[in-house]
Structure 1
Amino acid sequence: MALFNAIDTAASGVTVYRKWLDAVSDNVANVNTARRTSEDAFQARYVIAQAREYGSGTGGVQVGGIALGNREGRIVHDPENPLADADGNVRMPDIDMSSQMTQMIMAQRGYQANLATVERAQEAYRQAIQIGKG
């Protein structure tokens, strides 16, 4: 039964890291999203991971929620933008691209590591079946 627990635990990690990658890609895609100064800026998404069934031995991880970034963003002078106010300002998201790229690398590596664990556990299961066939 421990083998199936390994697959389930690693698969839960794959899911959380995929959600994290989705959030990062959404943030990167909207880094240049301008809004009127009277509106909220695009809010970056941050995945909150939490333990699943902690202490039971059959745990794993799950998405506990999504935290949103600063809605105030930053005011940028861009008089050419069609959304600019009378002073030529627009509201841009407060997203740091270097931080997003770092998060993307961490999420990608975690995704790959958990996927490799699932694949290795599946291969061990296949080998165990072959041994049982004798």
Structure 2
Amino acid sequence: MSMLTALKISSSAMTAQMVRMNTTASNLANMDVVGTTSEEAYRAKKPIFKTVMETHTNSNFEASVKVNGIHVSDRANTKRYDPQNPAANDDGYVFMSNVNSIEEMVDMTNASRSYQTNVEVMNATKKMMMATLQLGK
């Protein structure tokens, strides 16, 4: 594997983790959104990642991480009795989002750590490339 391939893998992984952080931030921002029905209430979203391997001639390959889609949670939305809420249905209930703030914070921490690890991989690869260039002097 060439050093440029390592940089490409880390770069694609960082992009994927940014999508993960953005969906987590969106989930947290919409955590208190209610709806009149369960279908109208906000549902948590999670990115789905895919590893892509491309083989080239001379046993060279390129690998990357791609976002294959965004999964919308099928966990049930809870309903709460709140007849004063403008979004309440005829029975006085509103449907809460199915976002779990603890899960989202753990997911955000994991995405942040993964992103930082890939930054460190890129820095180490850059140092190796610079050291290789210094060998010629």
- TM above 0.5, yes or no, is yes
Q: Is the Cα–Cα contact under 8 Å of residues 38 and 77 in structure 2 kept in the other structure?
A: no
Secondary structure at 1:60's aligned position in 2? strand
Aligned mate of 2:119, from 110, 115, 120 = 115
Q: 1:87 — aligned with what?
A: 91
**Correspondent of 2:71 among 67, 73, 79:** 67
TM superposition outliers: structure 1 runs of 4+ over 3 Å: 54-57
TM-score by length of 2: 0.86
Of 115-124 and 42-51, deviating more is 115-124
1:90-109 aligned at under 5 Å gives the runs 90-109=94-113
User: 2: CA distance between counterparts of 1:58 and 1:69?
Assistant: 32
Q: Percent identity?
A: 27
Q: Please report the RMSD computed on the Cα atoms of aligned residues, expressed in angstroms.
A: 2.0
Opposite residue 109 of structure 2, the aligned amino acid is: I
Q: Report the count of equivalent residues.
A: 133
CA apart distance, 1:30: 0.6
Aligned to 2:62: 58
Please, which moves more after superposition, 93-102 or 14-23?
93-102
| Unaligned ranges ≥5, structure 2 | none
Q: State yes or no: 1:43 paired with 2:43.
A: yes
Compare 23-32 and 74-83 and name the one that shifted more. Answer: 74-83
Structure 2 equivalent of residue 31 of structure 1: 31
Using structure 1 for the length normalisation, give the TM-score. Answer: 0.88
Report deviation, 1:54.
5.9
Unaligned segments of structure 1, at least 5 residues: none
Matched residues in 2 for 1:61 and 1:37: separation?
37
- How big is the shift at 1:106? 0.9
Q: CA deviation at 1:126?
A: 2.3
